[in-house]
Structure 1
Amino acid sequence: MFWFWALILFILFANSLRSYIKISNLKDKLRFKDNKIRSLESDLHNAEMRIESLKSQGESRSSSKSKKAGRATGVHYDDYSVLQARKIDGKYYQPIKDMEENGHPFYKKKVVITGEFEDYPDRNDLAELIWSFGADLDTTVNHRTDFLIIGEDHGPRKYKNAQKFGVKIIDEVDLRKILE
């Protein structure tokens, strides 16, 4: 009878030990997830602080920017919808296939457009016109770029890269002459 009770006690002890180990493992998992949540909350807080910082920088920059650019769009540059509206439609980044030689300076040339244009408030209009002459439009300036067409408030990096790679830079006045 002694062995029977000893076996019962052993089974109870083993079950309680197994339960203790499971509880311990669950506590470790919970602690890990709690730390993960704290880390994510901290990352979120840092991101929110960065956004606030960028907004305040954008407000101070936009108030010091030229009023002409603000009048053209009616809103500040930090407005995402304005930046989206300035994007060129993706269909113009594919050159026209089987186009006959037309003798235009933009024919079969890699062209990048940057900035705002008085004659073309919607950059898609300018992109479509240049594309119709057989140009291959692109978004970045590199050693294969032939022309950089710059408007007001153009991208400083694109301008710097154009100078670095010896790309011909065309402003709005020169563009009018070419398109006449």
Structure 2
Amino acid sequence: MTEQKRRETLEESLKALPIVEYQWMDAEELEFSQKVRYICRTECPRYGKSWSCPPAVGSVEECRKRCLEFQELFVFSTVAEVMDLENMEEVLKSKTGHERIIRKIRDIFRPYFGEILALSGDSCYICEACTYPEGACRHPEEMLPCIEGYGIVVPALAEKAGITFMNEGNLVTWFGVLLLKEKKREEKNA
């Protein structure tokens, strides 16, 4: 199957999902910055408390190298309406639907790619209390690392992809990234 045909097939499958905007890009177009990690460390209450966040995900350089092992990426956005953008609890609850969509997209893409690394717009909240750093992650297959935790500059990614970064009113914009690796020849023939 050609890359164009694969994309058309996948895009047809995605029409049933509430994706607002999306774009296919080369993984090497990602921009990484220590400044993003600094914000994680100094402003995010999840820093050092989740397997999906730094320092558990590795250094920015380790994350960059991991991402660049993939050939392409699929970046997309969803929106959720909230009553009060200042209410962080309400904003974070709106992320649950977005993460279900990331997992659905990953499941749709799985048969077409050899490996997929899915990243979400916030820290993982599958477990009420994360085991980090004392124990292993309880749900490593479901846990979605944070895009910013990898040091990825989301506004720059949105701009390169032509995706709206901020919506108006009481809409929260959530981003998802799936890094995609081609199947090896023997996997294609299986």
Same fold (TM over 0.5): no
Greater percentage in helix: 1
Q: Which has the larger radius of gyration?
A: 1
TM-score scaled by length of structure 2 = 0.25
Greater percentage in strand: 2
